[in-house]
Amino acid sequence: MALQDKYKELIDAAKSAGTSNLQVNEQDGVLHIDGEAPSGAVKDQLWDIYGKIDPNFLTGDVVMNINVATAVAGAKLKVVTESTNLNIRKGPGTDQPIVGKAAHGEIVSMISKQSDQWWLIRTDAGEEGYAYAQYLQPVE
């Protein structure tokens, strides 16, 4: 319960922001927070609160997996790579051949989610394939 107290502000914020399927479990000294935020902004807000309670996330007592509800089929996604192009691959895996690239900042469409990590996308140029979800952010 101590961890839930430490991260009370974070849990309360997740609840009040309308995070669906919110699950908070403490296991082996780690607080696991799972849920689906209604928007990318809420996800960012939750991560900011987490970072405030545990500066630089160095304590390692939280694993927070917040998905964004707007990341659904048909959604517009922005490529949020550091600066480089995003590889679009034939299949879901970095061992898969690259079939196209999306530029940094480009807007693409989501076709479907293969997993939390790999999303099937289509670029405006018509290139289709799997890209790593880490670099895709739903456009609000």
CA distance 120 to 110: 6
Under the criterion CB under 8 A, does residue 94 sit at the interface with another protein? yes
Structure tokens at 100: 């196209």
16 is a contact residue toward another protein (CB under 8 A) = no
**Segment lying near another protein (by CB under 8 A), choices 4-12, 26-34, 69-77, 103-111:** 26-34
Which one of residues 27, 74, 83, 97 is an interface residue with another protein (CB under 8 A)? 27
58 sits near another protein (criterion: CB under 8 A): yes
Beta carbon of residue 104, minimum distance to another protein (angstroms, whole number): 13
Q: How far apart are CA 134 and CA 116, in angstroms?
A: 9
Confirm or reject binding of residue 105 to another protein (CB under 8 A).
no
Inter-residue contact 38 to 18 (CB < 8 Å) = yes
Angle 27-18-51 from CA coordinates, rounded to 5°: 55
Q: Which residue has the tokens 């922001």?
A: 17
Smallest gap from residue 20 Cβ to another protein (A): 17
Location of structure tokens 């659904």:
72
Chain residues that interact with another protein, rule: CB under 8 A: 27-30, 32, 34, 47, 51, 56-58, 60-61, 63-65, 67, 82, 93-94, 116-117, 132-134
